[in-house]
Amino acid sequence: MLNLNDILVRLGGQIIIDRASAALPTGARVGLVGRNGAGKSTLMRIAAGKLEPDGGSVELPKGARVGYIAQDAPSGSGSPFDHVLAADVERTRLLTSAEASDDPEQVAEAHERLNAIDAHAAPSRAAKILAGLGFDEEMQQAPLETFSGGWRMRVALAALLFSEPDVLLLDEPSNHLDLESTVWLEDFLRGYRATMLIVSHERDLLNNVTNYILHLEHGGTTLYRGGYDAFERQRLERQAQAEATREKQIAERAKLQAFVDRWRAKAHTARQAQSRMKALSRMAPIAAASEDPSLRFDFPNPAELKPPLLNLDGASVGYDEGKPILAHLNMRLDPSDRIALLGRNGNGKTTLARLMAGQLQPMSGEVRAPGKLRVGYFTQYQVEELDGSGTPLQHMSRLMPGAAPKVVRAQLGRFGFSGVMAEREVATMSGGERARLALALVTRDAPHMLILDEPTNHLDVDAREALVHALNEYEGAVVIVSHDRHMLELTADRLFLVDAGTAREFDGSLDDYMKLVLGAASGGPEQGKASEAPKRKDARRAAAEARERSRSLREAAKAAETQVAKLNERRSQIERAMFDPSSAAPADAQLPMSELMKLHADVVARIEAAEAQWLRASEALEAALAA
């Protein structure tokens, strides 16, 4: 049992967490969710005993071991393997005792306890955890000081999982992971039998691992049973109930106020009016359900450009002359393509993205693109390199010299930076707000192709959903590198696996790829492939055929939608000529009314036919995607 009792936290005189309470059952796997800045990490540090609250307390079972990753990554000349093994403090102590002691009885007791805790299996278990998080055998034995901060944080996570605490506290555990390691972690946590509190914005992880959701909002907490989807349904139901109650209260207040206004001056009804005034004063107003108006992504659609947008023909790319990182690259991108780049970190996904963005030139082969092609390339470096002393308006104005102020503000408004938000210093913004600003900047010229390298790192679950919706509305091509499986499932139609020094289309679904990753992690790549090779081959073929069908249906729906828009515009032109000839085009204004009426009827009929065609294509596409 983990109990949070009336937790109060003030920051700079402002209350961040306001008497938050929750009773988490023993063995519960709880996802702690809330908007960016709600105080999730603060509450997690309090639960871990790393921060004292201004009020309230945390209760844990007596003797319970609490596991929590510190902010500092491990370092030194030791290896990841040694660091993980050392996380089992009891095993390390017993081994040291057995080696140092001259007392046979003490040595025997140490070995007896080592057998009881299955110490002989520890090296194998440590190696498996490290492998699941992306460390091959050579990396497991390399000095920690040779790794980047992100990889050393993976070592810290591996050590925490290896130590098997009774209460596991994880704050954004997938932040430094690629998709493959995130899938492994999710599978590992599903089988972990301890009380768990996880801060995460990964919808799939929350759905597949947790059985409770603790929602932190406006300083308070509410515990929901089930995963994230169940929480979202329950929250929407509560909001609907609260809104209905609010509307009922508004009507009741209006009724009471009307009585008071009408009768309080009358002597014979003054007492009744007075009682109603007291009822009004006791009636605490119910707040309206509010959505963050700044939670917005709206990518400007590009002008039409004939396919292909990009063609890689036998290309190779790298950074050192004569040493390509990727070779034999053959890929074609069309305006309607939605592509996800898969593969472990370090395999070359970012290198390929930079080649596609034109930031790297091919070492051999060809990369062909139209001269008018515009590419919007988003990386985390752009978020980190924003000038903290500048405002969104200043950032955008520098990149759009000569543009009218209203045009600059319009682009910022697409991403929620309207009014005073456009003139707020970047240094005061959250990570999610900075990511939105970076996306606004890279799409200022309505690119034909968006290349997004880990766009969700600073975004909460709601912001990720808004980004997914915007990407699906965007009419250009999209290339995504992300460890957020939910985003990839909803936005990507084609998968490319970057592995073994090249990139090839993966003829299967994302679920197929997940099975391949887990199979490789548990039994080696070949074992993972061999057992289901015939089924996977059929599944890949079916998936490829389904993608081809969905592509043609999407194009048909898009063509019909475009036709409807053009016909509606034509109808408006004809109606202007019929009812306001002075505002009509000269050619239309000269036509007699009978001819205009005939044209109008013809256009209306064509609109109905185009709308019917769009509806058929949309329904067929929906059925194909659901199949």
Residues 598/620, Cβ–Cβ less than 8 Å: no
How does DSSP classify residue 458? T
**Phi then psi dihedrals of residue 584, to 5 deg:** -85, 165
Give pLDDT, residue 526.
40
Q: What is the pTM of this model?
A: 0.71
Q: How confident is the model at residue 574 (pLDDT cuts 50, 70, 90)?
A: confident
Instruction: With CA atoms as reference, report the closest residue to 200 among 233, 179, 180, 175.
Output: 175
Start-to-end Cα distance in the chain: 43
In this predicted structure, which of 17-21, 253-257, 422-426, 487-491 has the lowest mean pLDDT? 253-257
DSSP secondary structure string, 168-212?
EEEESTTTT--HHHHHHHHHHHHT--SEEEEE---HHHHHHH-SE
Lowest mean pLDDT among 94-103, 195-204, 231-240: 94-103
pLDDT at 54 over 80: yes
Condensed to tens digits (0 to 9), the pLDDT of residues 455-476 reads 988 888 888 888 988 888 888 9
Q: Between the CA atoms of 148, 151, 157 and 160, what dihedral angle is there, to the nearest 10 degrees?
A: -70
540 confidence band (pLDDT: 50, 70, 90) = very low
- Is a pLDDT exceeding 80 seen at residue 371? yes
pLDDT at 530 over 50: no
Q: In what order do the strands lie in the sheet with 14-24?
A: 14-24, 2-11, 55-59
Instruction: Tell me the one-letter amino acid at 51.
Output: L
| Of the listed ranges 279-293, 365-379, 398-412, the one predicted with least confidence | 279-293
Residue 497: which region, alpha, beta or left (left: phi > 0; alpha: psi -120 to 50)?
A: beta
- Amino acid, single-letter form, for residue 163: S
Region 216-243: mean pLDDT is 86
Using only C-alpha atoms, the chain has a radius of gyration, in whole angstroms, of 30
Highest averaged pLDDT of the listed ranges 4-13, 398-407, 580-589: 398-407
- Those residues whose C-beta lies under 8 Å from the C-beta of residue 451, and which sit 6 or more positions away, are 353, 356, 357, 375, 376, 377, 378, 479
pLDDT at 406: 92
| DSSP codes of every residue in 11-22 | ETTEEEEEEEEE
Mean of pLDDT over the chain: 84
310-531, CATH topology level = Rossmann fold (3.40.50)
pLDDT at residue 244 tops 80 = no
Is residue 185 scored above 50 in pLDDT? yes
**What are the pLDDT digits (tens) for 346-368?**
899 999 999 999 999 999 999 99
CA distance 96 to 88: 13
Superfamily of domain 2-232 in the CATH hierarchy: P-loop containing nucleotide triphosphate hydrolases (3.40.50.300)
Under 8 Å between Cβ of 341 and 503: yes
Query: Cα 150 vs. chain centroid, distance in angstroms?
Result: 19
Least confident residue range of 455-464, 503-512, 554-563, 567-576: 554-563
Predicted pLDDT of residue 170: 92
| In the chain, % of residues over pLDDT 70 | 88
Q: What is the mean pLDDT of residues 521-526?
A: 50
Tell me: pLDDT of 114 over 80. Answer: no
- The pLDDT assigned to 625 comes to 59
Place of tokens 């801060």: 199
Q: Is 305 helix (H, G, I), strand (E, B) or coil?
A: coil
For residue 534, the model assigns a pLDDT of 47
pLDDT-based confidence at 516, cuts 50/70/90? confident
Q: Which residues contact 7 (CB under 8 A, 6 or more apart)?
A: 17, 19, 20, 21, 43, 46, 53, 55, 56, 57, 58
3-state class (DSSP) for residue 529? helix
Q: Which H helix or E strand runs over 101?
A: none
Q: Judging by DSSP bridges, how do beta strands 502-505 and 310-320 pair with one another?
A: unpaired
Which of 93-107, 405-419, 557-571 reaches the highest mean pLDDT?
405-419
Check residue 278 and give its pLDDT.
64
| Mean per-residue pLDDT, 541-558 | 64
In the prediction, which pLDDT does 533 show?
44
Stretch among 271-280, 320-329, 610-619 having the lowest mean pLDDT: 271-280
